């Protein structure tokens, strides 16, 4: 199975109706898009530039799935390639100029007291590192608090938070969760049994403005009173995704730990980061061997170079403003659906994090299929919820096309439903 930006030159070109179960398209369909009907193409991607995808069969797609930085940014790609020719991987015991540059860049980019960075290989590892910090801060506390149903990643702690129950019965931190449609209730769960609260500024199905600044300030104060670590999960929302350099800038608070994910790797290098306050770090790791929490390949020179280059591009290319323009375009086009039959109950964009809640799961699946027919790659729907997140560096012409095809798809599904109901 290929992922965007990679090529599998050992395989033969694929067709939609290829019946060979080992063919790349068949594998993609079986494991990634089982919700799609057989007449819908399942692309095997060979090349990506920004939001433009070229499939093995020569078809051209638009990426509204990756939610990443975007491939082939000239300055970022050049920096990564240059570092690869110098030193790509090295032991963390060795002094690394790229790592020093990356942690300095993160300290400058992150607000307030967030100044100590732990670089690792993925956003999932960053979450795990924050929970290890929480357990080290409060060894006797049994719980971690989150919003049930939202995405926290694919490792055991993330799956436990999403499900609201432990994947492993004897996990060192057991999840407590409030329903996704009642995020305000999270405040009532913050007590002295909770080692950490993990929450994103916004999420598919939960707009940035759903929880007002006063709510976030109260959450910060309750964490202060109970000693619970406040972990702000920006793996999907930062940097720049919500139209702010970081989502925390819209909340009026500083967390104890801020999580960043694969966007920092520019769709080229695996990386994640947990950026914490010096106070939170020193409480657990101060005056102790830093290798107590380490990684075989985390914080290597190649990934550190990517982090610095991406953060520089976010600022110099004004990527947050580009995401605000995307949200404004969504707002303008939403009026097209007024008075027309459409499967969407709610359509919302915070920056370029766009989500659609449909009437039911069947409508979500049909809209996903309609987008695939129009060569727009999205993630499989989760129940009645679809999410579109094009690369941060996508060109305006490409994001305009994504929106055009989305709204055409909404109208087509609505028209088909109307025709079916009149029979």
With a CB cutoff of 8 Å and minimum separation 6, the contacts of 4 are 45, 48, 53, 63, 65, 66, 71, 267, 377
Residue 196 CA to residue 230 CA, distance in Å, equals 6
Residue 72 has pLDDT above 70, yes or no: yes
pLDDT tens-digit readout, 347-356: 999 999 999 9
Residue 244 CA to residue 109 CA, distance in Å, equals 12
Long-range contact pairs involving 10-18 (C-beta distance under 8 Å, separation at least 24) = 11/44, 11/56, 13/56, 13/57, 13/58, 14/44, 14/56, 14/57, 15/57, 16/40, 16/41, 16/42
Position 16 scores a pLDDT of 44
Lowest-pLDDT range, 20-34, 59-73, 118-132, 335-349?
20-34
Mean pLDDT of the chain: 89
Residue 132 CA to residue 147 CA, distance in Å, equals 19
Position 139 scores a pLDDT of 95
Position 92 scores a pLDDT of 64
Position 9 scores a pLDDT of 34
In order, the DSSP letters of 55-66 are ETTS-EEEE-S-
Residue 274 backbone phi and psi in degrees, to 5: -115, 120
Q: Tokens standing for 159? A: 């799956």
Position 123 scores a pLDDT of 95
Position 403 scores a pLDDT of 97
Residue 247 has pLDDT above 70, yes or no: yes
Task: Cis check for the bond before 32: say yes or no (omega within 30 of 0).
Answer: no
Q: Tokens standing for 404? A: 């055009």
Map residue 203 onto helix, strand or coil: strand
Lowest-pLDDT range, 144-148, 232-236, 269-273, 283-287?
283-287
Position 415 scores a pLDDT of 83
The answer to whether the CB of 96 falls within 8 A of the CB of 299 is yes
Position 292 scores a pLDDT of 64
Position 35 scores a pLDDT of 54
- Cα 258 from chain centroid (whole Å): 14
Residue 189 CA to residue 178 CA, distance in Å, equals 8
Q: What number of helices (H) and strands (E) belong to the chain? A: 11, 14
Lowest-pLDDT range, 57-66, 95-104, 152-161, 288-297?
288-297
Report which DSSP code applies to 148.
Answer: E
With a CB cutoff of 8 Å and minimum separation 6, the contacts of 139 are none
pTM, two decimals, is: 0.90
Residue 41 has pLDDT above 80, yes or no: no
Task: Please list the residue range(s) of the chain that carry CATH number 3.40.640.10.
Answer: 74-316
Residue 398 backbone phi and psi in degrees, to 5: -75, -40
With a CB cutoff of 8 Å and minimum separation 6, the contacts of 259 are 123, 126, 127, 130, 231, 232, 233, 234, 235, 272, 273, 274, 275
Fold of 74-316: 3.40.640
Residue 256 CA to residue 114 CA, distance in Å, equals 7
Lowest-pLDDT range, 2-6, 245-249, 353-357, 391-395?
2-6
Residue 271 CA to residue 150 CA, distance in Å, equals 22
Position 38 scores a pLDDT of 61
pLDDT tens-digit readout, 167-205: 888 889 999 999 999 999 999 999 999 999 999 999 999
Position 290 scores a pLDDT of 57
Residue 340 has pLDDT above 90, yes or no: no
| Percentage with pLDDT > 90 across the chain | 73
Length of the chain: 423
Residue 359 CA to residue 385 CA, distance in Å, equals 9
Mean pLDDT of 111-125: 95
Task: Please list the residue range(s) of the chain that carry CATH number 3.90.1150.10.
Answer: 24-63+319-421
Give the torsion sign (CA, 341, 204, 254, 393): negative
Lowest-pLDDT range, 81-95, 215-229, 245-259?
81-95
Res. 39 pLDDT band, cuts 50 70 90: low
The answer to whether the CB of 231 falls within 8 A of the CB of 276 is no
Mean pLDDT of 326-330: 97
Residue 23 has pLDDT above 70, yes or no: yes
Residue 329 CA to residue 331 CA, distance in Å, equals 5
Map residue 404 onto helix, strand or coil: helix
Question: What's the CATH number of domain 24-63+319-421, 3.90.1150.10, 2.40.30.10, 3.30.70.100, 3.50.50.60?
Answer: 3.90.1150.10
Which residue's structure tokens are 């819209």?
250
Q: Is 112 exposed, middle or buried (0-12, 13-18, 19+ CB in 10 A)?
A: exposed
> In Å, what is the CA distance from 79 to each residue of 91, 101, 263, 327?
21, 13, 16, 30
pLDDT tens-digit readout, 224-245: 999 999 999 999 999 999 999 9
pLDDT tens-digit readout, 376-385: 999 989 999 9
Residue 100 CA to residue 298 CA, distance in Å, equals 14
Position 63 scores a pLDDT of 97
Residue 247 CA to residue 312 CA, distance in Å, equals 17
pLDDT tens-digit readout, 140-150: 999 999 999 99
Any idea what the Cα angle at residue 407 is, between residues 153 and 324, rounded to 5°? 60
């Amino acid at each position: 199975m290929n992922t965007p930006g990679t090529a599998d030159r050992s395989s033969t070109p694929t067709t939609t109706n290829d019946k060979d179960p080992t063919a790349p398209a068949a594998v993609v369909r079986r494991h990634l898009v089982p919700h799609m009907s057989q007449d819908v193409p399942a692309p095997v991607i060979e090349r990506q530039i920004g939001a433009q995808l070229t499939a093995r069969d020569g078809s051209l797609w638009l990426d509204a799935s990756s939610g990443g930085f975007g491939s082939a940014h000239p300055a970022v790609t050049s920096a990564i390639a240059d570092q690869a020719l110098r030193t790509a991987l090295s032991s963390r015991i060795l002094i690394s100029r790229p790592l020093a540059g990356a942690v300095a860049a993160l300290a400058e980019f992150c607000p307030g007291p967030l100044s100590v960075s732990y670089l690792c290989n993925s956003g999932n590892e960053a979450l795990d590192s924050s929970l290890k910090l929480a357990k080290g801060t409060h060894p006797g506390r049994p719980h971690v608090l989150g919003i049930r149903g939202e995405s926290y990643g694919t490792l055991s702690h993330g799956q436990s938070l999403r499900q609201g129950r432990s994947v492993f019965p004897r996990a060192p931190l057991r999840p407590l969760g409030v329903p996704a449609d009642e995020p305000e209730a999270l405040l009532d769960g913050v007590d002295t049994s909770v080692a950490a609260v993990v929450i994103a500024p916004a999420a598919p199905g939960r707009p940035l403005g759903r929880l007002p600044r006063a709510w976030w300030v109260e959450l910060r104060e309750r964490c202060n009173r109970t000693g619970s670590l406040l972990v702000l999960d920006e793996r999907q929302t930062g940097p720049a995704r919500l139209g702010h350099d970081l989502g925390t800038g819209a909340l009026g608070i500083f967390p104890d730990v801020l999580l960043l994910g694969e966007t920092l790797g520019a769709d080229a290098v695996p990386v994640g980061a947990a950026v914490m306050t010096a106070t939170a770090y020193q409480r657990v790791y101060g005056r102790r061997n830093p290798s107590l929490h380490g990684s075989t390949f985390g914080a290597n020179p190649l990934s550190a170079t990517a982090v610095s280059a991406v953060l520089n591009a976010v600022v110099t290319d004004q990527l947050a403003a580009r995401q605000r323009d995307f949200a404004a375009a969504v707002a303008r086009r939403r009026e097209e659906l007024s008075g027309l039959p459409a499967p969407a109950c709610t359509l919302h964009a915070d920056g370029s994090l766009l989500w659609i809640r449909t009437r039911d799961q069947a409508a979500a699946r049909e809209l996903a299929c309609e987008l695939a027919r129009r060569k727009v790659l999205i993630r499989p729907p989760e129940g009645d919820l679809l999410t579109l997140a094009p690369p941060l560096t996508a060109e305006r012409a490409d994001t305009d096309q994504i929106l055009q095809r989305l709204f055409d798809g909404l109208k087509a599904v609505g028209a088909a439903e109307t025709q079916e109901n009149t029979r």
